[in-house]
Structure 1
């Protein structure tokens, strides 16, 4: 039995429930409620699997964390195969140095995977963002190894229902839209197995994107001015 457990652990197919994060491993997300649930913040290395619909604020959620990593490390932020155009003005306004941002547009997912692994192996990147769909365990293991060797983080954004396979990632979460931000469900995290859904309030970072209370009602009928017929 011990040999079987050791084999599964070495293959990263099981996690130890009592495993602890290494000191200084994580980084603050910019949202106290999320940092509290993650016991200090997002991982400082490894693969983060994000299940989310497109365009609900999934990238904005991680911008404070990415800004903090750029300020600390002065390495590249790489964006691979985004499904929508990336707003450079928004990144600059947030404080991201655009001279340290690399955008890659591969022809297919195989090229996207290859580009992500090469960027991680180069030791020139602090974070790689990739939009991918169906993935295999061996592909995630290669990205994990490359990320840990270069002390980098690989984000993988996937749609909600693309795959039911549990992958050996450092952190897995699902996002859903809420009136003032996002609801975050932690699906997997090394060192923990009991999680709750977190309501992340994004209003402090982007107040202009939120409706005021006076406009936040169910009456969406706009009255038109009356005009007498001549």
Structure 2
């Protein structure tokens, strides 16, 4: 007997062969080709989004730049445990004023996780970028639940090896360096499996000559300093705000 679908609820039925949608608002990524691959047509708010990286600085910040530029004029952007210190001049050149950035540096992984959860629950920031050193499934689940109750875009940058681990994130993208941009493989989404990785050209990334392209890895472009200042005394606080 064929399944019956109520005509009053056509949008409530999702088929695995189709891209799903999100109950929360969706922010355009700034890249039409990527929007077409994402449920709802952009970055979902109020949800954990995982970017799985082989290493930091392969294009992830440039990828997020359009979405962050839309947030900065109105709300703050939080950076928790970035691999390098943010460079204020570079962020300002991107149209992201330094006074809109909240940089959180924690001494322990547990403190960083706690700080990220408090930012999600506070609701004062429009975006959170988090680089967890160690992330257990139960810790990620707590962050995802906290994000669901907030109006925020939340990205967690995790090692590429974590793609094999279970995660509550409804959207997981694996990023690989590519000539003039990044190659994006969708590890998890509400929809069909991705046919082939998406090659996305990013402004500001160099293109290698065709004869050298196979052996060239794009230079690190993330707008972050590699010299991290000496850690300040903790003074019994779980995290330092800079």
Bin of the TM-score, shorter chain as denominator length? 0.7 to 0.9
Q: Which has the larger radius of gyration?
A: 1
Structure 1 match to 2:50: 49
Structure 2 match to 1:10: none
Relative to the length of structure 2, the TM-score reads: 0.73
Q: How far does residue 194 in structure 1 lie from its aligned partner after superposition?
A: 1.7
Q: What's the RMSD between the two structures over aligned residues? A: 2.5
Report the 3-state secondary structure (helix = DSSP H, G, I; strand = E; otherwise coil) of the residue aligned with 2:156.
Answer: strand
Give the distance between the partners of 1:153 and 1:45, measured in 2 at CA.
Answer: 6
Closer/same/farther in 2, CA of residues 24 and 106 from structure 1, 3 Å limit: closer
Q: Which segments of 5 or more consecutive residues in structure 2 lack a partner in the other structure?
A: 1-13, 214-242
Q: How far does residue 153 in structure 1 lie from its aligned partner after superposition?
A: 2.3
Closer/same/farther in 2, CA of residues 23 and 112 from structure 1, 3 Å limit: closer
Closer/same/farther in 2, CA of residues 159 and 93 from structure 1, 3 Å limit: same
Q: How far does residue 149 in structure 1 lie from its aligned partner after superposition?
A: 1.0
Q: Is the 8 A contact 2:24 2:46 kept in 1?
A: no
Number of equivalent positions: 197
Report the 3-state secondary structure (helix = DSSP H, G, I; strand = E; otherwise coil) of the residue aligned with 2:113.
Answer: helix
Trace 1:159-178 onto structure 2 (pairs within 5 A). Answer: 159-162=159-162, 164-178=164-178
1:107 matched to 2:107? The reply is yes
Report the 3-state secondary structure (helix = DSSP H, G, I; strand = E; otherwise coil) of the residue aligned with 1:134.
Answer: coil
Closer/same/farther in 2, CA of residues 179 and 117 from structure 1, 3 Å limit: same
Q: Provide runs of 4+ in structure 1 moved above 3 Å.
A: 15-20, 215-219
CA displacement, residues 10-43 of structure 1 (integer Å, 9 cap, x when unaligned): xxxxx98478424672111111111111151111
Relative to the length of structure 1, the TM-score reads: 0.77
Q: Is the 8 A contact 1:184 1:199 kept in 2?
A: yes
Structure 2 match to 1:58: 60
Give the distance between the partners of 2:160 and 2:147, measured in 1 at CA.
Answer: 24
Q: How far does residue 85 in structure 1 lie from its aligned partner after superposition?
A: 2.4
Report the 3-state secondary structure (helix = DSSP H, G, I; strand = E; otherwise coil) of the residue aligned with 1:157.
Answer: strand
